[in-house]
């Protein structure tokens, strides 16, 4: 007996998170892609936009308005923030049965005031914002299973929250004074044609950007503060690195009273011991972005700092997989009742 396949739409299929969803879902045994949208490229085939899909049978790119929502079970929304909240509101009003995994930042912040502060305008879908569940699976798995609208976390934040929150909750590190020095591959900036993202502007060099004001900081504030039970203001400095994929977070923290690096390490290994997509390295070892490229893993390490009472946490993800589309599929698996790892077992592509 063949199992019924869930019918999937991808809104915003012509960007990198869209193509990554196709890469993962096209080989997922329990789903069928029934709609792909890309407003400006509607009418083209997905292979026109991403020729690596040339041998797949995929639906043509259409506009969002052309989607037959009645025949969709779950939609991934990979649209720019700001417009996303309006699109999702409209779709869910027209087709409330649909499960929605949103990859934008629009529904990640619980506090409408924080949203307004960081994004410069009032939220346009406040009810949905309150309904949405933050889709960081390892922390919110049970809520996600029951959710209709999931706010898939950002790549920086996935990478910087997972190694830190269990430690704050356990009192193993001090939530004050956290420094997150983060490095990102270039796909994190999407596929839009900007001078600053040209090959010649990015290769063979590096630089910081958005220092002290990157919007992902708002998610860190939210989750760290929730874990600490008080307002936490971390330092977060992103850097652009000449690599396609990968987030690498080097996190400097004070340990709690009487806590050493080995204790910090033990908290993390215990917390994540049953997680299929989290790998805590032996104490003192550090990850490389290469260990996760193309896979849904997060790999993290713990090193004692030379300043007494301090510890260095290092974690890495592929920003397009665990940092975006892979985590979105993981959320989909939960929502649709599939095994959580289904379609997500690719090993890292290295070299």
Site for a copy of itself in 176-195 (CB under 8 A): 177, 179, 181, 183, 186-187, 191-195
Judged by CB under 8 A, does residue 206 bind a copy of itself? Answer: yes
338: β partners? none
310: β partners? 254
Contact 188, 210 (CB under 8 A): no
The CB-of-338 to a copy of itself minimum distance in angstroms stands at 17
Range in contact with a copy of itself (rule: CB under 8 A) among 83-91, 97-105, 166-174, 306-314: 306-314
Rg (CA), the chain: 20
Q: Which of 155, 161, 164, 303 is catalytic?
A: 155
CA distances from 272 to 44, 324, 347 (A): 43, 20, 19
Judged by CB under 8 A, does residue 159 bind a copy of itself? Answer: no
For β-strands 278-280 and 235-240, DSSP reports them as unpaired
* Beta carbons within 8 Å of 273's beta carbon, 6+ residues apart: none
Judged by CB under 8 A, does residue 291 bind a copy of itself? Answer: yes
The CB-of-225 to a copy of itself minimum distance in angstroms stands at 14
Element at 9 (helix H, strand E): strand 6-11
- Residue located via tokens 């400006």: 40
Among the listed residues 7, 13, 50, 296, the single contact to a copy of itself using CB under 8 A:
50
Of 14-43, binders to a copy of itself (CB under 8 A) are 16, 19, 22-23, 26-27
Of 55-94, binders to a copy of itself (CB under 8 A) are 55-56
The CB-of-267 to a copy of itself minimum distance in angstroms stands at 19
| Dihedral of alpha carbons 239, 345, 281, 258, sign | positive
Rounded to an integer, what distance in angstroms lies between the CA atom of residue 193 and that of residue 196? 9
Judged by CB under 8 A, does residue 114 bind a copy of itself? Answer: no
77 as an active site residue: the answer is no
Q: Which is nearer to a copy of itself, 126 or 349 (CB)?
A: 349
Judged by CB under 8 A, does residue 3 bind a copy of itself? Answer: no
Judged by CB under 8 A, does residue 45 bind a copy of itself? Answer: no
DSSP letter for each residue of 135-156? --HHHHHHHHHT-SEEEPPPHH
Among the listed residues 66, 93, 127, 345, the single contact to a copy of itself using CB under 8 A:
345
Judged by CB under 8 A, does residue 13 bind a copy of itself? Answer: no
The CB-of-187 to a copy of itself minimum distance in angstroms stands at 5
Q: Which is nearer to a copy of itself, 19 or 84 (CB)?
A: 19
The CB-of-104 to a copy of itself minimum distance in angstroms stands at 19
For β-strands 31-37 and 74-77, DSSP reports them as unpaired
Rounded to an integer, what distance in angstroms lies between the CA atom of residue 35 and that of residue 42? 11
Tokens standing for residue 124: 């346009």
Count CB-CB contacts under 10 A for residue 75: 28
Rounded to an integer, what distance in angstroms lies between the CA atom of residue 151 and that of residue 296? 17
Q: Which is nearer to a copy of itself, 32 or 89 (CB)?
A: 32
Among the listed residues 154, 246, 323, 343, the single contact to a copy of itself using CB under 8 A:
246
Among the listed residues 95, 228, 304, 336, the single contact to a copy of itself using CB under 8 A:
304
Count CB-CB contacts under 10 A for residue 61: 24
* Beta carbons within 8 Å of 176's beta carbon, 6+ residues apart: 232, 254
Judged by CB under 8 A, does residue 215 bind a copy of itself? Answer: no
The CB-of-320 to a copy of itself minimum distance in angstroms stands at 8
Q: Which is nearer to a copy of itself, 107 or 338 (CB)?
A: 338
Give catalytic residues, as residue numbers.
155
């Amino acid at each position: 007996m063949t199992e019924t396949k869930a019918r999937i739409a991808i809104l915003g299929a012509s960007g990198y998170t869209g193509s990554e969803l196709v890469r993962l879902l096209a080989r997922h045994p329990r789903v069928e892609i029934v709609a792909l949208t890309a407003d400006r490229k509607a009418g083209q085939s997905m292979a026109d936009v991403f020729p690596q899909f040339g041998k797949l049978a995929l639906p043509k790119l259409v506009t969002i308005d052309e989607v037959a929502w009645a025949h969709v079970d779950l939609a991934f929304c990979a649209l720019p923030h700001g417009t996303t909240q309006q699109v999702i509101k409209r779709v869910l009003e027209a087709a409330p049965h649909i499960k929605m995994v949103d990859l934008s930042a629009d529904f990640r912040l619980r506090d409408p005031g924080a949203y307004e502060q960081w994004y410069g305008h009032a939220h346009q879908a406040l009810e949905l914002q309150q309904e949405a569940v933050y889709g960081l699976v390892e922390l919110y798995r049970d809520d996600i299973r029951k959710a209709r609208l999931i706010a898939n976390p950002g790549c920086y934040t996935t990478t910087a929250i997972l190694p830190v929150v269990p430690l704050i909750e356990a009192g193993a590190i001090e939530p004050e004074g956290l420094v997150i020095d983060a490095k990102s591959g270039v796909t994190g900036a999407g596929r839009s044609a900007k001078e600053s993202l040209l090959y010649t502007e990015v290769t063979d060099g590096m630089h910081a950007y958005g220092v002290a004001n990157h919007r992902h900081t708002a998610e860190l504030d939210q989750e760290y503060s929730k874990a600490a039970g008080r307002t936490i203001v971390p330092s977060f400095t992103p850097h652009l690195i000449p690599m396609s994929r990968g987030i690498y977070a080097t996190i400097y923290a004070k340990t709690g009273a009487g806590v050493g690096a080995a204790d910090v390490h033990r908290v993390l290994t215990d917390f994540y011991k049953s997680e299929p997509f989290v790998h805590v390295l032996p104490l003192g070892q550090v990850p490389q972005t290469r260990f996760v490229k193309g896979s849904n893993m997060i790999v993290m390490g713990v090193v004692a700092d030379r300043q007494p009472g301090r510890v260095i946490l290092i974690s890495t993800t592929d920003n397009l997989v665990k940092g975006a589309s892979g985590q979105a599929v993981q959320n989909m698996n939960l929502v649709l009742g599939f095994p959580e790892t289904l379609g997500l077992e690719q090993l890292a592509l290295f070299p």
